Amino acid sequence: MEWTREQRYRRIEEATIEELTALQEKVNNSRWRQKYHIQPVTGLLNDPNGFSYFNGEYHLFYQWFPLGPVHGLKYWYYTKSSDLVHWQNVGIALQPDDYFDSHGVYSGSAIVHNQTLYFMYTGNTRDENWVRHPYQCLAFMDENGQIKKLQAPVINEVPKGYTDHFRDPKVWKVHDTFYAVIGAQRENETGCVVLYSSPDLMHWTFEGEIHTRLQHFGFMWECPDYFELDGRGVLIFCPQGVVPAGEQFQYVHQSGYIAGNRLDLKTKIFEHGEFVKLDRGFDCYAPQTTIDHKGRRLLVGWMGLPDIPYPTDQDGWAHCLTLPRELTIQNGKLIQRPVKELEALRQDAVHVKDTLHNEQKRYDGFNGTCYELICEFTNMEAEEVGIEFRSSHKEKTVISYNRHKQKVTLDRTYSGEVPAKEYGTTSTCRVEGNAVKLHLFVDTSSVEIFINDGMEVFTSRIFPSPESTKICFFARNGNASLDTTIYHLAAMQKNGGADDGPLVFHW
Ligand code: FRU
């Protein structure tokens, strides 16, 4: 179905209860609903926003268009959790109902200040000629959880030299000064990140552009995030339109980072190394980080990409968020590990130790659609080892390690319904050694695979049929030792879903 502009920019209160109920029913009947990932009650979810720890709880919001699986009029939807595992749907946090955000409450971040959780976000507006005018806006949540917007933007204008693609403020504080990075497009249609400063979150000064070595790297940089970790500076961003180079940048949209010395806030010079992709799978975009009360740097991403149709569209919803990951730095590289709290979802465990001799093998208890699987291949003489999962006579998803090529490959060619086939159905990255550890989180329609304790991650939606439940381990052209454990995982909510709590009618 083609959505007209009028349909995309409908507000939720313009929909009748009957329409919303019918949509909700369609979504609930979808065979691809997730069990332990944050997903929208209806409609489309995209970027995580306002990720924070405040008042004893984690708060996580996301971009939401309630009325269908398209990028329409965006709201902030609110979920919260005390443990990063069990998320409760709270309802709509920010609505596009002011002159400065009339065409979408776009992405932004959160920061705690004076016992209050502040949100800085982009108000998207369009004039009668459909020309965009972005504002940077402020909202806040008091200790009782009440969220209010400041009734005027805190940044009214796009500075000279930049286009109206100017959005996604990420705020942090150094001593007494607040800083914000904003994703921007220069007038020559190249992407970059700019820096603002403020003494109080209300009054902002344009400091200028962050000077990186990437002067011509895509046409727009979305969702920047700057933080320091183990003495290093890290700038995460999503460059759009980077020209494909070999196996790199197959997609139009990337999310990745540059790391280096701390950003010099005076000169705005950021000395950094190569741009590194944050995720090696197919579906990960617009990640956002926060620091929690335990001092951990945590990251959540959108498990989806812009501008691509997904099989759940026909069921009235699209996308979910990734599991939260903890970030550390090793030798200048970001390491991403699933947060420890996720172990709370583990139910029964089955463990197997074996040696594979140029063969494929299945084991009792190793199957399902919703599990965590940890698998180590060691003493590798085999050329290639791997796992076929969500498999049946007609479908399989394969993660493999080729020792000769020193490459890990995720193959979703036969995963069922495959989104964005035109961009390729395998994804690869370099990994060295005669052993490999694969740590998988499989949910009804996704997989997140942590390689060698978070050295690389492959995040992908997969859309197999419910009968594709088999798991099979293999070693080709030689032997390999196998040590593996499967944990079947409980659903995030007691009665089976990841989407309980107040539904779409609550705002
Ligand atoms: C990234 C993005 C952001 C924007 C938001 C709108 O996916 O395009 O730049 O703020 O989504 O939903």
CATH number at residue 360: 2.60.120.560
In b/e form, how buried is each residue of 239-251, taking b as 16+ CB within 10 angstroms? bbebeeeeeebbb
CA of 437 relative to ligand 1 center, distance in Å: 34
Instruction: Just list the catalytic residues.
Output: 47
Nearest to 91 by CA among 59, 119, 116, 68: 59
Q: Dihedrals φ, ψ of 12, to 5°?
A: -60, -35
CA of 150 relative to ligand 1 center, distance in Å: 21
CA of 122 relative to ligand 1 center, distance in Å: 9
What total number of domains does the chain contain? 1
Q: Which residues contact 482 (CB under 8 A, 6 or more apart)?
A: 352, 353, 354, 355, 356, 375, 376, 377, 385, 473, 475
Residues touching ligand 1 (Cβ under 6 Å) are 46-47, 63, 74, 106-107, 122, 167-168, 222-223, 285-286, 306
Q: Which residues contact 50 (CB under 8 A, 6 or more apart)?
A: 59, 60, 61, 76, 93, 108, 109, 110, 117, 119, 121
Atom in ligand 1 nearest the alpha carbon of residue 74: 12
Say if residues 304 and 285 touch (Cβ distance below 8 Å). Answer: yes
The answer as to whether 218 is a domain residue is no
- pLDDT given for residue 252 in this prediction: 67
> How far is Cα 346 from Cα 414, in angstroms, rounded to an integer?
28
Atom in ligand 1 nearest the alpha carbon of residue 107: 10
The answer as to whether 362 is a domain residue is yes
> How far is Cα 352 from Cα 490, in angstroms, rounded to an integer?
21
Sheet of 276-277: strand order equals: 220-229, 232-240, 256-260, 276-277
Atom in ligand 1 nearest the alpha carbon of residue 222: 9
Domain interval for residue 350: 341-489
- The Cα angle at residue 13 between residues 11 and 18, in degrees rounded to 5: 115
The answer as to whether 439 is a domain residue is yes
Q: Best substitution site from 62, 76, 222, 238 to test ligand 1's pocket, by max atoms within 8 Å of Cβ?
A: 222
Say if residues 458 and 281 touch (Cβ distance below 8 Å). Answer: yes
The answer as to whether 479 is a domain residue is yes
- pLDDT given for residue 143 in this prediction: 77
| Burial label, 382 (beta-carbon count in 10 A; 0-12, 13-18, 19+) | buried
> How far is Cα 487 from Cα 347, in angstroms, rounded to an integer?
6
CA of 107 relative to ligand 1 center, distance in Å: 6
Atom in ligand 1 nearest the alpha carbon of residue 47: 7
CA of 286 relative to ligand 1 center, distance in Å: 8
- The one-letter amino acid code at 343 reads E
CA of 196 relative to ligand 1 center, distance in Å: 20
Q: Whose CA is nearest to atom 8 of ligand 1?
A: 222
Report CA torsion sign: 266, 269, 271, 275.
positive
Q: Whose CA is nearest to atom 6 of ligand 1?
A: 106
CA of 167 relative to ligand 1 center, distance in Å: 8
Residue by residue, pLDDT tens for the chain (507 residues) are 789 999 999 999 999 999 999 999 999 999 999 999 999 999 999 999 999 999 999 999 999 999 999 999 999 999 999 999 999 999 999 999 999 999 999 999 999 999 999 999 999 999 999 999 999 999 999 878 889 999 999 999 999 999 999 999 999 999 999 999 999 999 999 999 999 999 999 999 999 999 999 999 999 999 999 999 999 999 999 999 997 766 555 666 889 999 999 999 999 999 999 999 999 999 999 999 999 999 999 999 999 999 899 999 999 999 999 999 999 999 999 999 999 999 999 999 999 999 999 999 999 999 999 999 999 999 999 999 999 999 999 999 999 999 999 999 999 999 999 999 988 999 999 999 999 999 999 999 999 999 999 999 999 999 999 999 999 999 999 999 999 999 999 998 754 455 544 444 443
CA of 391 relative to ligand 1 center, distance in Å: 34
227 pairs with which residues across the strands?
234
pTM: 0.96
> How far is Cα 88 from Cα 81, in angstroms, rounded to an integer?
6
Say if residues 436 and 376 touch (Cβ distance below 8 Å). Answer: yes
**H helical segments located in 119-182:** none
Atom in ligand 1 nearest the alpha carbon of residue 306: 7
The answer as to whether 382 is a domain residue is yes
The answer as to whether 378 is a domain residue is yes
The answer as to whether 399 is a domain residue is yes
Q: Dihedrals φ, ψ of 144, to 5°?
A: -90, 5
Q: Best substitution site from 45, 61, 63, 71 to test ligand 1's pocket, by max atoms within 8 Å of Cβ?
A: 63
- pLDDT given for residue 253 in this prediction: 82
Residue 274: other Cβ atoms inside 10 A? 11
Q: Best substitution site from 125, 168, 240, 307 to test ligand 1's pocket, by max atoms within 8 Å of Cβ?
A: 168
Nearest to 250 by CA among 212, 283, 299, 286: 283
The answer as to whether 166 is a domain residue is no
For residue 287, CA distances in Å to 279, 299, 303 come to 10, 7, 9
Q: Best substitution site from 71, 166, 223 to test ligand 1's pocket, by max atoms within 8 Å of Cβ?
A: 223
CA of 265 relative to ligand 1 center, distance in Å: 26
- pLDDT given for residue 243 in this prediction: 79
